[in-house]
Amino acid sequence: MRKLRIGIIDLVTKAPTRALYARLMNANMASIMPQVIAVWCEEEGHEVTFICYTGFEDLAKMLPENPDLVFIGAFSQAAQLSYAMSNFFRSRGAVTVLGGPHARCYPQDAQKYFDYVLGFTDKSVIRELLRDCSPQRPYGLHLAAERQPATLPGVQERWKFIEPTLRKAPTIKIVPMLGSLGCPYTCSFCIDSVVPYQPLDFEVMKADLRFLLQKFPRPRVAWHDPNFGVRFDDYMDAIEEAAPPGSIDFIAESSLSLLAEPHLKRLKRNGFKAILPGIESWYDLGNKSKTGKMTGMDKVQQVADHVNMILRYIPYIQTNFVLGLDVDEGPEPFELTKRFVDLAPGAFPGYSLLSAFGQAAPLNLEYQRADRVIPFPFHFLNNNQAMNVKPKNYSWPDFYDRVIDLTRYTFSWRAIYRRYRAMEETIPKWMNVVRAVSSEGFGRIAYFTNLRRLLDTDRQLRSYFERESTELPQFYIDRVRKDLGPMWQWLPEGALHHDPNAYLHSQKAAAATPVSLVAAGSMPPEARPGGNGALQTPAPARPIVT
């Protein structure tokens, strides 16, 4: 087999940027699977150039002049950037491959712009691809393993790619680690709800932690597990065996149900500094917050007590909510969240607008059948810039009025001050202030307020929201053009648009097509059965929640 020049690009941002926060933190958002692919490609004897694209790099200069193959890993919000990059590298003769959450959620669309689109990716999928990576145009091939890989290269094997990425983070450096895949919970909107829970090798984890203690005086590790601590005792035993208590700072996403007081004591002892549980709704998903059938104000009180207890052990907590779920109706869900902000002043509330990411979750088929999915360009699908499911129980103006009211309440100076006062450690205190006054707090209030104004004044935009028109409002086109900057010129024609019901169509086509008659790759994408899989392991199509 000929030695290939391979470029691997991990897109942690959706556009070129010069923002200070991006400079400080983007490199810490690196995904694990692009690093894994890089390891596997080298093991197959190829020459790899790996880049974590944080928005500051000139890729044309950093990659070899004429790469044979370019892998790109992207979340959906970076899809337009990835399409533009693919077009650029194809113009230089490269064959392009997309993996990651976007490839998994929207394979039919991605196949229009990439030669290969990856579902679940294991080493045999990569081997197969490397054996014959001939161009596939106009429609790319969809390649997928049946399930997630049983093992992955650990930090030591990936270090060659982790180290240069961390060099881009000037102050705080966070190493991504993974102890498990999938989740035993079944939150209907979440991509991991359909991936069986599977722990990875604890021996690899222990060796990696020991390795990191040699590299940093006090390492910081972010667990990319969709739901950390499902096998709590096994994890803690492994951490305690490998690292002296408190010698490593950890960050993890974990459901509230796993954060009982005895667990919190052990987490504290082992250096856990930040935890991100999902509450989602006051009327649903009680199993993961351990509130059972309790709803409404009773659930608010119980969750607030639980969160306040967590804060006695873990210095930083972000509680996640999904706004606009079908169970929500009227003012109450929003008012209850405000009460929670009052009762648990130290928690940083993370709000996500309900979003259906293509074929991430079976529930999305219901939205598509009901014609409720709006094809906002992927660029806006980051859980807050666009809600791509028409709310069931709210008009758009009513919904945005309530979202704005809640966001203003949460990031009022009074709430910011109370949050500051409720925390003990200096960095978490100030982290919350910075988040509130930057894009997550004040920035969102401004964005939502502008959008709410346009719902009243921009007829074209309102018709698009109401599904009366499919013409993309100029507001969105202008924003993508501005954000992509020099990459805009490479965005292929039509790449701002996608079929919002592609998942549904692919299911119908799969049911109607005798599989033995047609190879998946030879069908036009709209007729192909969909596939699942991810190049990037952090849960791709859920809010940052567990």
- In whole angstroms, the minimum distance from the beta carbon of 195 to ligand SF4 comes to 9
Phi/psi of residue 513, nearest 5 degrees: -105, 125
- Residue with Cβ nearer ligand SF4 (192 or 208): 192
Helices 296-310 and 332-343 cross at an angle (nearest 10°) of 30
- In whole angstroms, the minimum distance from the beta carbon of 23 to ligand SF4 comes to 30
What is the DSSP secondary structure assignment for residue 479, as one 8-state letter?
H
Does the footprint of ligand SF4 cover residue 68 (CB under 6 A)? no
Nearest by Cα to 224 from 475, 29, 399: 29
Does the footprint of ligand SF4 cover residue 286 (CB under 6 A)? no
- Residue with Cβ nearer ligand SF4 (227 or 532): 227
- d(CA 441, CA 32) in angstroms, rounded, equals 29
Does the footprint of ligand SF4 cover residue 117 (CB under 6 A)? no
Q: Which of residues 135-164 bind ligand SF4 (CB under 6 A)?
A: none
- Residue with Cβ nearer ligand SF4 (299 or 542): 542
- Residue with Cβ nearer ligand SF4 (54 or 383): 383
- d(CA 48, CA 38) in angstroms, rounded, equals 7
Among 226, 286, 391, 500, indicate the residue that binds ligand SF4 (CB under 6 A): 226
According to DSSP, the residues that pair with 250 across neighbouring strands are 221, 272
- Residue with Cβ nearer ligand SF4 (26 or 546): 546
- d(CA 454, CA 462) in angstroms, rounded, equals 8
According to DSSP, the residues that pair with 316 across neighbouring strands are 274
* 248-285 CB burial, b ≥16 within 10 A, e <16: bbbbbbbbbbbbeeebbebbbebbbbbbbbbbbbbbbb
Alpha helix (H) residue ranges in 344-390: 363-369
Q: Which run of H or of E encompasses 268?
A: helix 261-269
Q: Which of residues 412-441 bind ligand SF4 (CB under 6 A)?
A: none
Among 50, 106, 185, 490, indicate the residue that binds ligand SF4 (CB under 6 A): 185
Among 97, 110, 187, 212, indicate the residue that binds ligand SF4 (CB under 6 A): 187
Q: Reduced to 3 states, what is the DSSP secondary structure of residue 285?
A: coil
The window from 45-53, 160-168, 183-191, 483-491 that contacts ligand SF4 (CB under 6 A) reads: 183-191
- In whole angstroms, the minimum distance from the beta carbon of 436 to ligand SF4 comes to 24
Count, residues near ligand SF4 per rule CB under 6 A: 15
- d(CA 19, CA 11) in angstroms, rounded, equals 16
- Residue with Cβ nearer ligand SF4 (196 or 397): 196
- d(CA 431, CA 322) in angstroms, rounded, equals 22
Among 109, 192, 483, 499, indicate the residue that binds ligand SF4 (CB under 6 A): 192
The window from 159-167, 188-196, 231-239, 465-473 that contacts ligand SF4 (CB under 6 A) reads: 188-196
Phi/psi of residue 29, nearest 5 degrees: -95, 10
The window from 180-188, 339-347, 349-357, 482-490 that contacts ligand SF4 (CB under 6 A) reads: 180-188
What is the DSSP secondary structure assignment for residue 117, as one 8-state letter?
E
- Residue with Cβ nearer ligand SF4 (76 or 255): 255
- Residue with Cβ nearer ligand SF4 (344 or 539): 539
- Residue with Cβ nearer ligand SF4 (105 or 495): 105
Q: Reduced to 3 states, what is the DSSP secondary structure of residue 21?
A: helix
- Residue with Cβ nearer ligand SF4 (433 or 544): 544
- Residue with Cβ nearer ligand SF4 (80 or 352): 352
Does the footprint of ligand SF4 cover residue 499 (CB under 6 A)? no
Quick check: 98 and 86 in contact, CB under 8 A? yes
Nearest 5°: the CA angle 325, 329, 335 is 95
Does the footprint of ligand SF4 cover residue 225 (CB under 6 A)? no
Encoded tokens for 418: 């109370």
Among 227, 281, 291, 407, indicate the residue that binds ligand SF4 (CB under 6 A): 227
- In whole angstroms, the minimum distance from the beta carbon of 251 to ligand SF4 comes to 15
Quick check: 519 and 167 in contact, CB under 8 A? no
Within 13 A of 153's CA, how many CA atoms are on the CB side?
A: 22
What is the DSSP secondary structure assignment for residue 350, as one 8-state letter?
E
Does the footprint of ligand SF4 cover residue 102 (CB under 6 A)? no
- d(CA 7, CA 280) in angstroms, rounded, equals 38
Cα-Cα-Cα-Cα dihedral sign, residues 98, 102, 104, 109 = negative
Phi/psi of residue 192, nearest 5 degrees: -80, -10
Among 12, 118, 539, 541, indicate the residue that binds ligand SF4 (CB under 6 A): 539
Among 190, 252, 300, 341, indicate the residue that binds ligand SF4 (CB under 6 A): 190
Q: For ligand SF4, what does the binding mask look like between residues 244 and 273, x meaning CB under 6 A?
A: -----------x------------------
Residue 173: how many CB atoms within 10 A of its CB?
18
- Residue with Cβ nearer ligand SF4 (263 or 288): 288
- Residue with Cβ nearer ligand SF4 (318 or 546): 546
Among 183, 304, 311, 406, indicate the residue that binds ligand SF4 (CB under 6 A): 183
Among 193, 337, 384, 385, indicate the residue that binds ligand SF4 (CB under 6 A): 193
Residue 523 makes CB contacts below 8 A (sequence gap 6+) with 139, 509, 513
Does the footprint of ligand SF4 cover residue 279 (CB under 6 A)? no
Nearest by Cα to 35 from 17, 57, 55, 52: 52
- d(CA 366, CA 370) in angstroms, rounded, equals 6
Does the footprint of ligand SF4 cover residue 180 (CB under 6 A)? no
- d(CA 265, CA 86) in angstroms, rounded, equals 48
- Residue with Cβ nearer ligand SF4 (187 or 353): 187
Chain residues in the site for ligand SF4 (CB under 6 A):
183, 185, 187, 190, 192-193, 226-227, 255, 278, 288, 539, 542, 545-546
